[in-house]
Amino acid sequence: MRDKSTLGRSPPPVPAQEELAKAAKPARPRIGRPTVARSEVIQQALLDAARELFLTVGFDATPMETVAAEAGVSKSTLYARYPTKEALMKAVVDDRISIWASQAGLVVSPMPQDFKDRLRHIARVILTSITSEEIQDFNRILLNNVDSAKDLARALFEAGHQLAVARLAVEIQAGTHDFPAPPRSALRVAEMMMAMLTGWHESHRHMRRVTPQEAAIYADHVVDVLFAARTAW
């Protein structure tokens, strides 16, 4: 005779039935790392938000928490990528340097065939890039803030300077391979050319903003002077 206390109850499932019941339940989705595409979106959102805030509010006046909120991410996500504000600023300017170089034609650009015209083209894009409003704003922010940011400004200036010098040196080396007397050092000629370009701009920018038209004219003149002295290369 069955126990009345068990009436109306289902018999306990056998092990096989238990396994089937577990399998029928929907699996709980796992929370893992974001996809590569999502990670890139987060990265760009952080850099864009930081750049905008640094330029409009200022480096010192921008809390990291505000950058995270503006980018739509958590503070932990921001700090996991950039432990300090200086590290974030370096990432911002590194990102802008690659964009500036691409926009200026230092990475990929239709180039003239004639060697002298090629140097004129590169000299123009270097000098007009230096005079751009965004680059000047970044220089102003970095040089007018904390000591660590000043060190960063110096390092980033050198990185951009070295990129341009290396690009010039490659062109000079390639363009003079059939010269009766090739340069003793293509790199040294490139450094001289950069010094002429950046020195001129530096001497004027404290008094006034140099226009792109002025920059292009001066860049052409620099190449003319260098070519006139090419026997001394």
User: What are the sequence ranges of the domains in the chain?
Assistant: 36-83, 93-232
- Evaluate whether 155 touches 94 at the Cβ level (below 8 Å): no
Q: What is the pLDDT of residue 227?
A: 92
Q: What is the pLDDT of residue 153?
A: 64
Which residue is it, tokens 């230092």? 106
pTM of the model: 0.59
Supply the CATH classification number for the domain 36-83.
1.10.10.60
CATH class of the structural domain 93-232: mainly alpha
Q: What is the pLDDT of residue 107?
A: 47
For the chain, residues with pLDDT lower than 50 are 2, 6, 19-32, 107-108
Q: What is the pLDDT of residue 202?
A: 82
* Average pLDDT score over the chain: 78
Q: Supply the DSSP string of 12-64, one letter for each residue.
A: PPPHHHHHHHHHHSPPPPP--PPPHHHHHHHHHHHHHHHHHHHHHT-STT--H
Q: What is the pLDDT of residue 28?
A: 43
Q: What is the pLDDT of residue 224?
A: 96
